Chain A
């Protein structure tokens, strides 16, 4: 099982390789980012982010997240106060979203 210290990461802490990810690593990434615990609601978003990235090669926008992840925009910001799109991408082990929206 990979641990945070054993995987390659970008200077901002995103995983270099999506395949290094597993659920325990996600919990470690979350703790490091100031989320002590991942609830079912967090997982809904994280799993959606990862699934979308693996299918489409790109992280969803905040608008798409709010419409399709099953979690509203309001709740997204409650779950990930420091910025849902970026933080959920980090926890999901996918690259930093580079869109402006």
Chain B
């Protein structure tokens, strides 16, 4: 139990372990299993009243790319967590099949598909950003991204924005 809950401002928090009030989450991977953890962390933060920023970089930008965010797939090749024979992971259609099964289990838990989840997170007040270096590298523009995107920012601006909070890399 906490010694000074009232000073630290949240249930369970103490002076030594202050409550988290702000998180900036980086999403860097473009697979289904690479994107969801960051989204769940962002949504969970907002649900607790914690300020949240989400910074999409490299292939993680597929999650906010209009043309791509509806077709994000589970990586079935080079993914030992699936316990699937390596050759089987490369069979055409395998990625789509595994993705479909995973989406079904998530729907049962009321976890939305990626486009809807991103919208929900934006509506919850979290701010979404794309990484300028990645945008330039892939030759993308603002028009390639979904409307709720707050902006395309540099790494320096990201650190400024993350000031006073925790940074989580996924």
Chain A interfacial positions (CB closer than 8 Å to B): 11-12, 61-64, 66, 72-74, 77, 81-86, 99-101
Contacts and interface: CB of A to CB of B under 8 A. Distances in A.
Nearest to B123: A73
Contacts of A63: 110, 112, 116, 120
Interface stretch (B24-32, B42-50, B158-166): B42-50
B125 A77 contact: yes
B11 A62 contact: no
Nearest to B126: A77
A84 B40 CA distance: 16
Nearest to A85: B47
B124 A100 contact: no
Interface string B34-55: 0000001001101111000000
Contacts, number: 44
B46 A64 contact: no
Contact of B120 (A73, A81, A85): A73
* Interface size range of chain B in the complex: 10 to 19
Contacts of A85: 47
A78 B147 CA distance: 21
B3 interface: no
Contacts of B109: 99, 101
A86 B123 contact: no
Contacts of A99: 109-110
19 contacts: A11-B11, A62-B43, A62-B120, A63-B112, A63-B116, A74-B124, A77-B123, A77-B124, A77-B125, A83-B47, A83-B48, A85-B47, A86-B47, A99-B109, A100-B40, A100-B44, A101-B40, A101-B44, A101-B109
